[in-house]
C-alpha cells in the first residue's frame, strides 16, 4: 500500500452532510461499519469502501479506524 498517497482530510459538518447526500446515504440513520454504534454526520468518518457500498462509515473510535486500515492493508488496495 502506498502510504504516501493516503490523505486524511477533516471535513466540516456541512461538507460531511453534503457528501453523505451525494453518496445517497441517509444521514439521519448512520451506523459504524466496524462496531455497529449509532453515529451521525457530525461525528462520523467517511472512508472509501471496497465492494458494493458507496462508503465505509466509522465512529470516532481509534479502534474502528485501526481495524479499517488493517482491512485495507490486508486487501492490498490503495486509497487515493
pTM of the model: 0.78
> How confident is the model over 4-62, as pLDDT tens digits?
566 777 888 899 999 999 999 998 899 999 999 999 988 899 998 876 678 999 998 99
What pLDDT, on a 0 to 100 scale, did the predictor assign at position 23? 92
What pLDDT, on a 0 to 100 scale, did the predictor assign at position 1? 44
Between residues 12 and 76, which one has the greater pLDDT? Answer: 12
Between residues 11 and 79, which one has the greater pLDDT? Answer: 11
From the list 48, 49, 14, 46, the residue with the least C-alpha distance to 30 is 46
Domain ranges of the chain: 28-80
CB environment 35-56: b (16+ within 10 A), e (fewer): eeeebebeebbbbeeeeeeebb
- Residue 63 grid cell: 479502534
Amino acid at each position: 500500500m502506498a502510504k504516501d498517497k493516503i490523505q486524511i482530510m477533516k471535513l466540516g459538518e456541512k461538507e460531511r452532510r453534503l457528501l453523505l447526500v451525494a453518496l445517497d446515504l441517509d444521514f439521519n440513520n448512520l451506523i459504524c461499519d466496524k462496531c455497529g454504534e449509532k453515529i451521525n454526520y457530525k461525528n462520523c468518518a467517511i472512508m472509501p469502501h471496497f465492494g458494493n457500498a458507496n462508503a465505509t462509515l466509522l465512529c470516532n473510535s481509534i479502534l474502528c479506524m485501526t481495524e479499517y486500515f488493517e482491512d485495507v492493508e490486508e486487501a492490498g488496495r490503495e486509497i487515493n
